[in-house]
Amino acid sequence: MANKRRWGDRKDGTLIRGGDAMHDLIPLIHPNRCDNEAYITETIDLTNLDKFLEKKNADDPMYKYNMFQCIVTTALKTITLRSKMNRFIANRNVYQRNEVTASFTIKREFDDNGAEVLAFIHSTPEDNLDSIHDKMLKIITGYRKNKSADETTDTMDILTKLPKPVKRGIANVVSWLDKHGWGPEALTAADPFQASVLLANIGSIGLKAGYHHLTNWGTTSVFIVVGKAEMKPFYKEDGSIEMRHAVDLGLTIDERLADGYYYSGTVKMMKLLLENPELLEAPLGEKLSDEMFQKIHAR
């Protein structure tokens, strides 16, 4: 049974009560998300993932499994298991998000004038790579076949036709509503900045991973930029260098949610999952074995 909503809770999150003094005070001293960004980069060895995907695609499915699906699933599993990563700060209060979600944009056509639409994944602890793959298939094929955009884009298209003074007034009101968690469903339902994590696969357009800022709008506290997969040098135990297929991830995180040790364990878990992708076939809510957990904290 779902927990009963209490005074101070939002429709999208439960107010954290009785936290430690430092994390209670930080949102009061530093209220803006964009003033509290921590940027982390990590290189992922794709050797095992490439073999894993080759095996998954051996039966030639209609929608092939790919690296980005694995990264989305990894982000969702990591946030499911590392619950502080699913918190957000709004109106100087800390909230635990009610569900684990991921968002990203989809390019309809790969040209300068091709429109973008917003994709939103709602996950459950029972989901795994296969079910996330199916959800992404449904979203992507639906948007690319359907001439209309997602609901949020449709709403924004209507607003752009209004006179500028009216748009400015609406923006002020909507920003105030967003701050308190009272934003209209037409804007928040598929707003990428209302998700647990927002991912940008810029490697698909040939770019390397880099920094992307958070926003004070919305509630998203984690941003992951996926760079171009390419051959990179790795040091072997004997000191020699070996070229391996790899990808860089750039993570921007709201540093007010946890301490550096917690973030370190989170990034190491993402790396472990992507370099041991068979773990993604287990449910998102299934904890890692003691052996795997020790590997994270031994690095």
- pLDDT tens per residue, range 80-103: 999 999 999 999 999 999 999 999
Q: Is pLDDT larger for residue 293 or for residue 127?
A: 127
Please give the residue that has the higher pLDDT: either 73 or 297. Answer: 73
Is the domain of 182 the same as that of 226?
A: no
Same domain as 158, residue 142: no
Which range of 32-41, 114-123, 171-180 scores highest in mean pLDDT? It is: 32-41
pLDDT at 211: 92
Q: Give per-residue pLDDT as tens, 21-31.
A: 777 788 899 99
Cα 25 to Cα 37, 86, 102, 181, 252: the distances in Å are 17, 19, 28, 21, 22
Report pLDDT for 278.
97
Q: Per residue in 243-263, pLDDT tens?
A: 999 999 999 999 999 999 999
Strands (E), the chain: 13-15, 37-45, 87-90, 93-97, 101-107, 116-122, 197-201, 222-226, 230-235, 241-254
With beta carbons less than 8 A apart as the criterion, state whether 209 and 233 touch.
Answer: no
Indicate which CATH number applies to the domain containing 50: 3.30.559.10
- Tell me: do 100 and 219 sit in the same domain: yes
What pLDDT sits at residue 154?
Answer: 61
Domain match, 179 and 76 both:
no
Residues 269-279 have pLDDT tens digits of 999 999 999 99
Final residue in a domain of this structure, among 165, 189, 213 = 189
Can you name the residues that pair with 232 across neighbouring β-strands?
Answer: 244
pLDDT at 112 (0 to 100):
62
The phi, psi pair for 37, rounded to 5°, reads: -90, 135
Q: What is the mean pLDDT of the chain?
A: 88
**Domain containing 244: what range?**
34-148+194-298
For the cut 90, the answer to whether the pLDDT of residue 242 exceeds it is: yes
65 lies in some domain:
yes
225 and 132 assigned to the same domain: yes
- 18 in a structural domain: no
Residue 169 lies in a domain: yes
Measured between alpha carbons, how far is 280 from 286 in angstroms, rounded to an integer? 10
Domain end point (choices 160, 189, 218): 189
Task: Tell me: do 119 and 209 sit in the same domain.
Answer: yes
Decide if 228 is inside a domain: yes
- pLDDT higher than threshold 60 for residue 166: yes
Nearest to 221 by CA among 24, 84, 25: 84
Residue 166 within a domain: yes
Per-residue confidence band for 1, with pLDDT thresholds at 50, 70 and 90 = very low
Q: Are residues 43 and 115 in the same domain?
A: yes
CB atoms within 10 A of CB 138: 11
Please tell me whether residues 203 and 132 are part of one structural domain: yes
In a domain, 28, yes or no: no
165 and 48 part of one domain: no
User: Which residues touch 249 (CB under 8 Å, ≥6 apart)?
Assistant: 41, 42, 43, 44, 71, 209, 224, 225, 226, 227, 270
Query: What pLDDT shows up at residue 198?
Result: 97
Into how many domains does the chain fold? 2
As a whole number of angstroms, the distance between CA 218 and CA 33 comes to: 10
Handedness of CA 138, 139, 141, 143 (dihedral sign): positive
Residue 5 has pLDDT above 70, yes or no: yes
Q: Are residues 120 and 217 in the same domain?
A: yes
Verify that 125 and 51 share a domain, yes or no: yes
Q: Which pLDDT score, from 0 to 100, does residue 104 have?
A: 93
Q: Are residues 270 and 223 in the same domain?
A: yes
From the DSSP assignment, how many helices (H) and strands (E) are in the chain? 9, 10
Res 110 pLDDT > 60: no
Domain boundary among 189, 219, 240: 189
Confidence of residue 74 (pLDDT cuts 50, 70, 90): very high
Vertex 226 angle, CA 225 and 229, to 5°: 155
56 occurs within a structural domain? yes
For the question of whether the overall pTM of this predicted structure is more than 0.85, the answer is: yes
50 in a domain, yes or no? yes
State mean pLDDT over 215-238: 96
